[in-house]
Structure 1
Amino acid sequence: MRIGIVLARARSFEEWAVTVPQGATIDDALVAAGLTAEWRQGQGIDGLALHGVRAESDARLNDGDRIELLRPLVADPKDARRKRAAARKPDAP
């Protein structure tokens, strides 16, 4: 099975493609990509997702799955949206 692994950064991303046998788990794919637990910890990875849905490292994979390496949020998305909306709002007379 072909599996994609993605790590998003502020202005860029890293991507790996691995081939794993049928029945492989997320952890198997990470090992195949050489992304050790120590490396992930050093990068600040604090979670995993499959196609945007939180997943555990023992989750089974299907051909074409995309694993996302998650980092902590640096800003609350709701607050960031409010700030962008306020910046676009025209000044009241």
Structure 2
Amino acid sequence: MNVGVCYADADRQLWLRMEMPDDSTVEQAIRYSGILERFPEIDLSVQKVGIFGKLVKLDAPVKEGDRIEIYRPITADPKTVRRRKIASDDDDDDD
């Protein structure tokens, strides 16, 4: 079956497509893809993975055409960043 594995860091993105046996898991596909060698910072024991934007476990089975995604940790709380931006925009209105 044909599946893809993708990952992006701050500088580059990679989407690899490959053929896998029908009974493959997410983890098997990730390891087979070679993406862990290209991005040694990936730690599957910590980082979350998904298929088409939906979180899955490493032992989840993959299906024909699946896009397996490896997610980077969030480095900033989106709510806090938004609040700071709104507060900053409000400060600009005083001019």
TM-score class normalised by the smaller sequence: 0.7 to 0.9
Q: Equivalent residues in 2 for 1:1-93 (5 A)?
A: 1-36=1-36, 39=37, 42-45=40-43, 46-89=47-90, 91-92=93-94
RMSD: 2.5
Moved over 3 A (4+): 39-42, 83-90
Question: CA separation of 1:13/1:41 partners in 2, compared to 1, >3 Å: closer, same or farther?
Answer: closer
Q: Work out the CA distance in 2 between the residues paired with 1:87 and 1:10.
A: 25
Question: CA separation of 1:71/1:35 partners in 2, compared to 1, >3 Å: closer, same or farther?
Answer: same
- Identical columns (%): 30
Q: Work out the CA distance in 2 between the residues paired with 1:2 and 1:88.
A: 47
Q: Give the gaps of 5 or more residues in structure 2.
A: none
TM-score (norm 1): 0.75
Q: How many residues align?
A: 91
Q: Which letter maps to 2:64?
A: D
Give, in angstroms, the shift of residue 33 of structure 1.
Answer: 0.8
Q: Which letter maps to 1:13?
A: Q
Note if contact 1:44-1:72 (Cα within 8 Å) is conserved in structure 2: no
Q: Give the gaps of 5 or more residues in structure 1.
A: none
Q: Work out the CA distance in 2 between the residues paired with 1:62 and 1:85.
A: 43
TM-score (norm 2): 0.74
Q: Which letter maps to 1:50?
A: I
